[in-house]
Amino acid sequence: MNISEVAAKYDMTPATIRYYESQGLMPAITRNQSGTRDFQEEDLIWVEFIKCMRDSGLSIHSLSKYSELYQIGEQTLVQRKEILVEEYQKLLEKQALINGTVAKLEKKIENYDVKIKQYEEAISTEKELG
């Protein structure tokens, strides 16, 4: 699969994929005999993983370190897990903040629903009386 096809599949631009590769966020992409990127299944797994992690706010630094450790091998399992656990904790903190904001917005929207209903009833009553 070429880079344009991969970009379309994951709703990314080819430039973004090239950037991620250049920053070490994933192992080097497989290339065909003419040197063109030729994404294999393992490459696609990396692209999907990196996209998911970046969309969730993980830093390029953390992902680059994770990829570097992955390429070293099994002896880095503990360090890789530590990176993921740290990023997981950060996401949980963000989620808690977002959940708090969602709850506040729900209350605010409900308050507006009540005020709009009261306003509409007042207008209706005025029309009936006037």
Give the pTM. 0.77
Provide the token pair at 67: 């990829």
pLDDT digits (tens, 9 = 90+) for 53-96: 999 999 999 999 999 999 999 999 999 999 999 999 999 999 99
73: left (phi over 0), alpha (psi -120 to 50) or beta: left
What is the C-alpha separation between 51 and 7, in angstroms, rounded? 11
pLDDT digits (tens, 9 = 90+) for 90-127: 999 999 999 999 999 999 999 999 999 999 999 988 88
